[in-house]
């Protein structure tokens, strides 16, 4: 079995803040992406590789980015937001990731310290109907007075 390098592993991670390594031999944190420490200090959620590439590879990473952003009150990177809202990423999330795995991420968001922020991110990234799917035969009834502004104000 062949193993990759620590640097290759760092770039395969979901987020730069999760790509930091602690070297027990040197007693130092290693930042192979050269962005993990600065993103952690500045409170930014960024992917090590281009976000669309990262999300298509594993679409659950979109929800992990949202969860970590909400949990730590960090800002989602603009390129990350564009990629997360992309139809290709939404379709991959719906097709490749089981409802159970999505549910686990949602449970972690809701039980976290900032559930409203997590749901707000989901809505802002137009992921709501991808994440919270209804049975095909279900016809939702939306009140005439219900719109996105009313929804936002209720949060």
> Where do the domains of the chain lie?
6-129
Cα atoms in the 13 Å half-sphere on the side-chain side of 35: 14
> Residue 75 to residues 33, 46, 101, 153: CA-CA distances in angstroms?
19, 9, 24, 21
Question: Structurally, what CATH architecture does the domain formed by 6-129 represent?
Answer: Orthogonal Bundle (1.10)
Cα angle for residues 116, 134, 142 (degrees, 5° grid): 70
> Is the model's pLDDT at 107 over the cut of 60?
yes
Instruction: Convert the pLDDT of each residue in 7-63 to its tens digit.
Output: 999 999 999 999 999 999 999 999 999 999 999 999 999 999 999 999 999 999 999
């Amino acid at each position: 079995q062949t193993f990759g390098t620590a640097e290759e592993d760092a770039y395969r991670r979901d987020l730069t803040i999760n790509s930091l390594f602690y070297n027990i031999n040197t007693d130092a944190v290693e930042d192979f992406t050269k962005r993990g420490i600065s993103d952690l200090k500045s409170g930014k959620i960024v992917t090590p590789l281009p976000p669309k590439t990262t999300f298509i590879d594993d679409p659950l990473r979109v929800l992990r980015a949202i969860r970590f952003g909400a949990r730590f009150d960090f800002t989602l990177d603009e390129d990350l937001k564009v990629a997360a809202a992309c139809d290709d990423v939404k379709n991959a999330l719906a097709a490749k990731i089981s409802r159970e795995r999505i549910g686990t991420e949602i449970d972690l968001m809701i039980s976290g310290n900032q559930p409203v922020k997590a749901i707000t991110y989901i809505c802002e990234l137009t992921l709501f109907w991808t994440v919270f799917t209804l049975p095909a035969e279900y016809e939702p009834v939306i009140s005439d007075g219900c719109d996105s502004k009313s929804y936002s104000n209720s949060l």
